[in-house]
Amino acid sequence: MGNELLSGLLVASFGRQYLVETADGRLLPCVTHGKKGGAACGDRLKIRLTSADQGVIEAIEPRRSLFYRANEFREKLIAANVTQVVLVVAAVPTFYEELLNRCLVATEVAGVKAVIVLNKADLAEETARARETLQLYADLGYPVVQLSALGDVAPLRPYLAGETSVLVGQSGMGKTSLVNALLPDAGARTADISAKLDSGRHTTTHARLYHLDADSDLIDSPGLQEFGLGHASRGEIEHAFPEFRPFLGQCKFNDCRHAREPGCAILQAVADGRISRRRYDIFDKIFQPHRVARG
């Protein structure tokens, strides 16, 4: 077909197969050239038609942000061009605080806003305990929005207005249920809560972008079990803990690893109660591989 390039928005990626929304609102299956991957949901693209209803990605436009995780071997892109990460947790199944913190670090490293959603508020007793755990994060300035995706999702709407948000979190926290509640026409499917059979589970396997309204988008993403921060530098991780910032650069040694060095301003702040012990312990765990590595 022609050599003309079209602009498009990547709204879903299935391995090397992509679904691209063109300016005129069509959804076009696209592939990439050869082995080149690296496109993420939310990417703005230049595509070329290879047939009437198939395209090839020719270029990825510069991104305003990239939210991703990485281990020592490879990167896993989650979403591009988001302005906000919505971290979805619930009391049931239990959410892992370290994973939440890893997501928060990646959000800070990406330079975008974070909102924590405590879903399944209808499970009142368990939710009350989880809310106590989350108070630490509310005190740090992260909004904590408590709601039930099966009830009223109105409390979340003001946070989504005008933003491109990606929902992230462990499997089963209710990300897709939130999409369904916010966008009844989304066609996103979830496990039926009334289905007693485990086979009724419907876990999300790929990211998908939905238009909430003319200037708000919402990206659903697959559940996470781990969140590698191999891409973050030592300095980025230190700064990703906002309450550490006033103390960074105050340690006796320039290359202080904040482990057990004398004159460590971070450890002193923990001892003084100005940095929470819980957050420091999580930082310590996350920072561990970066202590031995360079940079």
Enumerate binding residues for ligand GTP (CB under 6 A): 119-120, 122-123, 148-150, 169, 171-177, 190-191, 193, 202-204, 222-223
Q: Which is nearer to ligand GTP, 195 or 293 (CB)?
A: 195
The yes or no reply on residue 256 touching Zn ion (CB under 5 A) is yes
Instruction: Kindly state the greatest CA–CA separation across the chain.
Output: 68
Complex with Mg ion: residue 130 or 219, whichever CB lies closer: 219
* Rounded least distance, CB 246 to Mg ion, Å: 38
Distance of closest approach, residue 215 Cβ to Mg ion, in angstroms: 24
Check: CB of residue 50 under 8 Å from CB of residue 56.
yes
Which is closer to ligand GTP, CB of 88 or CB of 256? 88
Q: Which is nearer to ligand GTP, 105 or 149 (CB)?
A: 149
For residue 87, what are its two tokens?
């971290």
Query: Shortest Cβ distance from residue 258 to Zn ion (Å)?
Result: 4
Closer of 60 and 210 to ligand GTP (Cβ): 210
Residue 256 site contact among Mg ion, ligand GTP, Zn ion, none (CB < 5 to 8 Å, cut-off depends on kind): Zn ion
Q: Which residue has the CB atom at the shortest distance from ligand GTP? A: 223
Window contacting Zn ion (CB under 5 A); options: 46-54, 232-240, 248-256, 272-280: 248-256
Q: How far is the CB of 174 from Zn ion (least distance, A)?
A: 39
Q: Binding of Zn ion at residue 251 (CB under 5 A)?
A: yes
**Residues binding Zn ion (CB under 5 A):** 251, 256, 258, 264, 266
